[in-house]
Amino acid sequence: MRTGKIIINVLIATTGLLWSCPAVQAGEIGMPDKPIIIGTSNPVEFDHVLHRSLDIPCGECHHDDGHNPRGNEEIFAIVDGKELHCKNCHNKDFANTFLQNRKDIFHTNCKPCHAVGINGNRGPRKCNGCHIKDR
């Protein structure tokens, strides 16, 4: 009987994780289910599924013009995923010149979490942990 309860709890937890995942809720664009490659010079491999499994909210990266995190419902409602790309706002016209390029954006947003960690899980802290040489 104990095994049955464990299986039920695992199923409930898995279902909860799936329903918090944009790929399940959105039905339109969904969350990429495979790592994506960001950039061409010194590219970075980013895994949405891994980051969501750590309960990092989508709004941690995907925010509005006022730098307020976008809610999952707002993100799920977006039909064209290109609207979520950083370069739509973080470009040569962005007011904060330091955050006009991808390198500075990601280093500013990602490195602190990788150093401190979330729920005991620290991300890569050396360059080659995120940056990939050949693809």
Question: What per-residue confidence (pLDDT) applies to 49?
Answer: 93
CA distances for 118 relative to 24, 43, 85, 121, angstroms? 24, 24, 24, 5
| Mean pLDDT confidence for 58-64 | 90
Q: Closest by alpha carbon to 58, among 94, 32, 34?
A: 32
pLDDT above 90: percentage of residues in the chain? 30
Q: Closest by alpha carbon to 28, among 69, 84, 67, 68?
A: 84
| Domains of the chain, residue spans | 2-130
Question: What per-residue confidence (pLDDT) applies to 123?
Answer: 92
| Mean pLDDT confidence for 48-63 | 90
Dist CA 85 CA 106 (whole Å): 12
Instruction: Match 């050396």 to its residue by tokens.
Output: 126
Dist CA 71 CA 62 (whole Å): 9
| Mean pLDDT confidence for 65-93 | 87
Q: Model-level pTM greater than 0.75?
A: no
- Residue 39 pLDDT > 80, yes or no? yes
Dist CA 59 CA 64 (whole Å): 9
Q: In this predicted model, what pLDDT tens digit does every residue of 98-130 receive, in sequence order?
A: 999 888 988 998 999 999 998 888 999 999 999
| Mean pLDDT confidence for 8-23 | 41
- Residue 21 pLDDT > 70, yes or no? no
- Residue 84 pLDDT > 70, yes or no? yes
Q: Which residues pair with 37 in a beta bridge?
A: 45
Q: How far apart are the first and last CA of the chain?
A: 49
DSSP element (H, E) containing 36: strand 36-38
- Domain at 2-130: CATH architecture: Alpha-Beta Complex (3.90)
